[in-house]
Amino acid sequence: MQATFNQTLIELVLGDITQENTDAIVNAANSCLAGGAGVDGAIHRAGGPAIMAECRQIGACPTGQAVITTGGNLKARYVIHTVGPIYRGGTHNETHLLESAYKNSLKLARKKGLQSIAFPAISCGIYAYPIHEAAHLALKSCVEFVRVNTEIQLIRHVLFDQRTFDIFAHEFKKLT
């Protein structure tokens, strides 16, 4: 499923983000950049120890911010590590923090001159963000960004399971 917004193709696919060949893939990290389970674990396993070595040098990343490392053994040249909010009832600035995680990742990609980027469903696993709302915010953040920034040509949302894909697809149709 895909649609063009301004100059950027936004695409939804079902799959494993570690296999993506976009310039960068985004990691749903924690603020210590310490590695973990979920997509974070999968990216470090597939990318090898060079990524963690760079994360240790960087040290930390506050929630809603993003940092960049090389892609190690991945096909993607870079990994952008962002930290989504832990969902705590929706009254702890979660909306703003999730939007910031997407937008700051995109800003960093633009700053690096990258043309394509793949996102997982940030905060939708261990951090327990309600998926409908997270999908809406993810897509809205990307569409808002590409309305005013034309450098990135492809944003791919890589959803790991059918249910998450279907929810993203439902929210995507509302925007097209």
Query: Hey, which residues are catalytic here?
Result: 40
* Of residues 134-153, those binding ligand AR6 (CB under 6 A): none
The two structure tokens encoding residue 142? 């990307």
**Beta strand 116-119 pairing with 154-159:** parallel
Question: Count residues contacting ligand AR6 (CB under 6 A)?
Answer: 25
Residues 27-66: x/- map of binding to ligand AR6 (CB under 6 A)?
-xxx-----xxxxx-x------------------------
16 scored as a contact of ligand AR6 (CB under 6 A):
yes
* Cβ proximity to ligand AR6, 109 vs 135, nearer residue: 135
43-46: list long-range contacts, CB under 8 Å, 24+ apart: 43/17, 43/18, 43/74, 43/79, 45/18, 46/18, 46/73, 46/74
Nearest Cα to Cα of residue 39 among 77, 96, 82, 69? 82
Binding site for ligand AR6 (CB under 6 A): 16-18, 28-30, 36-40, 42, 84, 120-127, 158, 160-161, 164
